[in-house]
Each structure stands twice: as structure tokens, then as C-alpha cells.
Structure 1
Amino acid sequence: MKLLLTSGGISNKSIHDALVDMLDKPIAESSALCISTASYALRNGARLAWSFFNGKDSAPMTELGWKSMGVLELTALPSIGRDRWVPLLEETDVLLVNGGDPLFLNYWMQQSGLAELLPSLKLVYVGMSAGSMIMAPNIGDWFVNWTPPTGGDETLGLVDFAMFPHLEHEMLPYNTMANAEKWAAGMKGPAYAVCDDTAIKVINGAVEVISEGKWKLLKS
């Protein structure tokens, strides 16, 4: 599995070009499955999910001209047979995973069984915000809103670094570099602060920052 971990989706040419390179073929020849489970834990979550699916979200993901698209709802997967959805994952080229509440998304990644499958999949995983954050070992107390039954802030741990997304976003006045540094001080491993014009590409453990904006490795 290849990872393209974004803060604000495929927001510029550099990130777009990285995605095409990871796919090894044009987007118009690639199939996508979309996950917006994380959005439902937020206020107006259903509307946020719809804007993501219909391509009217401000962060480009679904509207890039995919050959085919489908919706994978994690909360539904435990109640249906794996033969109904695992083959879809094995055939698709990319997973587009929306933002929202990271711990809610992490919980349903685990409960659905998708988390255990991810490392073996040959697709490109494209996360946005929470969809990227859950790849870390943990997200930090700063981002804990919805609390899982077991508590804590642990996430999937498929990479060894954590992300502070939406750095200095005009709609998120608390996402300052100063607050990102406070967050990073409490993290155990490497920690990045990234703006919406930045993504982190991970292939076979090799990490590369792709940016047309602002980012900083706060803790190595």
C-alpha cells in the first residue's frame, strides 16, 4: 500500500502529480472507493459527507475525473459478509478517505476489519485531515473529541509520525504554529505540522513531503 497523506485533499499541481505518479496510470483510468465515516461524528456530518461524495467539497478528492467510484461505509461492514466488500478493495486503485473525527474513524476502521487488511492492499491510500491522521501511532490530546470505548488517543500506527493538519487555516484560528509546537511537545515520535497545500507521501517506509505551502517537522 502506498500512502498520500494530505491536509486539504489534492489541492495543487504538486500533490496531483504525486498522486498520478503513485497510481502509475492516469486518474481517468483509475477506480476509487470513498470513505466518509469520520464526518458523521461532527455537527452537520451528513452534509459534510454529501459534499465530499458529490465533489462540491472545497478540498478536491472525488471530483478529479476517476474512471469509476464507489462508497465504502465502514459502519455497515460488520453487518455484511466480507465477500461483499473485500473483493471491491482488492480491485480498486485508490481509497479516498475523508476528514472528520480521527478517533471515530479509527474505531470503525478497527471494527469493520479494514484496518487489518490495509497493509496487504496494493492500492493507493489518499487521506485528508482525519483520514491522514489515523495512520499515526496516536493523534495527541489536542485532537481528542469523540472518545472510543477504550479511551486513549491511539490510532493505526502504519507510519511512525503524526500530523497536525490545517496549519494556519483561516477557518481554524487555533491551528497556529505555536499550538502545533505545543502539540508536538507531547508526542512520542516524529511530528509534522502541515498546511492544506502540503501532503506526505509514504512508499515502502520512505517519507517525502510534497508542498506548495507551509510545513515544519516539529519533532524528529
Structure 2
Amino acid sequence: MAKFGVLVFPGTNCEIDVLRVLRDLLHQDAELVWYEERDLERYDAVILPGGFSYGDYLRAGAMARWTPVIEAVYAAAEKGRLILGICNGFQILTEAGLLPGALQRNRHLRYVCGWTHVRVERTDTPFTSAYRKGQVLRIPISHGEGNFYADPDALAEIEKRGQVLLRYATPDGQLTETANPNGSLHHIAGIMNKAGNVMGLMPHPERACEAVLGSEDGCGIFASMIHYLTKGRVFHVG
């Protein structure tokens, strides 16, 4: 059994969904962690869930990035602990510099909420080992600032190092303009850091872990993390 800390900021609204998946569906030890916490040593993995931290003032994630717990997230990441940022959590991780790039306003300047499809690009990571390479997942999105951007040099480096884990695609895995819901460069829906222990994604896997909700495809993200933490799977950075 792995121990997960699920961070909570003022405005977070997906923390209970994540707890349900970890505790009730996957039978892991998980608890909420308030943003003022300064010590995350007791956790094997830390999850920054979705929501609207601080009302998305300034930019999504810009204020949460300066809270006390982020210093502890830095320390956990440095020690190789798994860090997962979902939606607003992804935005916070980019604001904190733990992941490259930035999340901008959606290209049509509208909030989007609905089902989307993402293609799995790698399966040799702590976050995606439960999937098959090229597998297409049905997972919902819910965001107004999910348009991934990086300058040309940074984007080239991200691609060269194989840091893209998920791309928006059609149900059969094609990268078409209509399949990209927010204008993200290179259809990027989820990436990891160079070390391979920090991942951010805009889709909400915790909302796709039960058939009654319309999909169980998101459960593989959490299952992959648990397998890595409990089975000691070896991970090689590409």
C-alpha cells in the first residue's frame, strides 16, 4: 500500500473525487493536506487536484504556487517522490517551474467542459505503465486555461526527451485540429519532467475511474503510480 497526500488550496474542488479513487476504488492510504503544510516526508506520492485555487486570480495557479506547501513539493520532487498535477494542479506545477511550459487561455477564449480523447505516447513511466502505447483514453476535461504553450526551443526539448505522455486525439488516435479542444501546441494534454517523477495533465482521470460515470480509462494513471511505488518498477528516462 502506498501513502498519498492530496493537496488542498482555497478554491480546490476535486480533492474528494481523488480521495474516493485512491481510498475506495484502489484501497490506498490517502489523506488531504492543507496548503499551509510544510512537511510532506510521510507521503510516497503527492497529488495536486483540480479546481480554481484562489479563484484563478492573476493566472490559474499563480497564487497557489507561492503557498508554503509548494516548498515541500519541491523537496519531495527533488527526492524522487511522485508528483501528479491534475488540471489546476498542472497549472500550479508549471507556475512553480516543476514542469516546463505554461497553460494559456483556451484558443477560443471559452471555458470547455466535456469528454475528450487522449492518446498514450509512452508506457515506460511511473504514470502510464498500465496502458498500451498508442492506446486512446476517454477522459473528461474542464478548464478555461488549458492551452499548453512552450517557446520553440523548449518545445523541441520536450519532444526530444520524450516528455509528452498524452496528446489530444480522435477516438482512433488521429491528431486532428478538431480533436484539440483548447489549442495546445502539438496536441499536448499531459507531460512529465526530465527526471520522470512529476507529471501534469489537463484531463481529469479521477472523473473516469468508474463505468457508471462513463469511463474507467483514467484509473490507469493512479494504478500505474501504485504499481511503481509498491512493486519497485524500474524507470528509465528517455
Tell me the TM-score normalized by structure 1: 0.44
Tell me the TM-score normalized by structure 2: 0.42
